[in-house]
Structure 1
Amino acid sequence: MDRYDDVDVFSGLDDGKGKHHAVDLDRTGKRLFDRALQNDETRLRAVLDQFAGHGLVLPVVGQAATIGALPVAVAQPCGALVGYLSITHHRACPRRLTDDIGPRAGGPHPIDA
C-alpha cells in the first residue's frame, strides 16, 4: 500500500446497514475509539475530523461497494486514505494476529473491528 508509513490512525470498520462498529488505533496501538457508529454522513465525518487531528487516517472497510460505500465516500474528501479488506482476508486476520501475538483480551483485533 502506498503511503502506509504516513498513516497515523488505523480505523477498522465493521460495516452494518444501520450502524458500523469502529475501532481506531494510533501507531503505538493505543485505542482511540471503540464503539458503534451510526451509518450517517454527518456522524462519520465528525469522527474522521476528530482523528484527522492525530494525522493521516486509514479507514479499512470490508464491503466498499455496498454498505461500506458511505464511509468510503465520506473518508476520501476528508483526505483520508481508504483500505479495502476482502472477506477472505478479513476472516483470516484474527487467526494470523493470534498466531503472532497470542490471544488478546479486551475486544476485537484492530482490523477485525
Structure 2
Amino acid sequence: GFMSKTKKLLEVVCHNCGKILADESTPEMAEACRYRDPKKRFNAIWTICKKKTICENTVMGDDDNMDKLKEPKHDHGGCGNPPAPKIRREGLKLTGTWKAEKRDDEND
C-alpha cells in the first residue's frame, strides 16, 4: 500500500538533491519511461534505481575538445553524494540507515 510505495520512492531519489538516481539518458531508463501504465513505469524505474547507491554527477575527464564535439554527453546533474541510506520498514515506521564513510586520513 501507501508505505511500500513511499519506501520505494525514497529508494529512487537522492536524499541530498532530490534527483532520480538513474541517468535518464541510459537505454534502460528510456525503455522504462515508455511504459504508459504508471504502476509499471514506477516499478521499472525503481528496479533500475535500486541498484544505484550514488547520485551520479558530471565527470570531467581529460578529453580534448574534438572528442566532446563527436560525442556529446548528457549531464545528469546529480550531486555526487555518497551512498544512499538503507531504508527499512517496520510496521508504520520507515527508518534510514547510512553507512559510515571510510576515510583515509584517520591514521593522521
Q: Is the shorter-chain TM-score for this pair beyond 0.5, marking a shared fold?
A: no
Structure showing the higher strand proportion among its residues: 1
TM-score by length of 2: 0.25
TM-score (norm 1): 0.24
Larger radius of gyration: 2
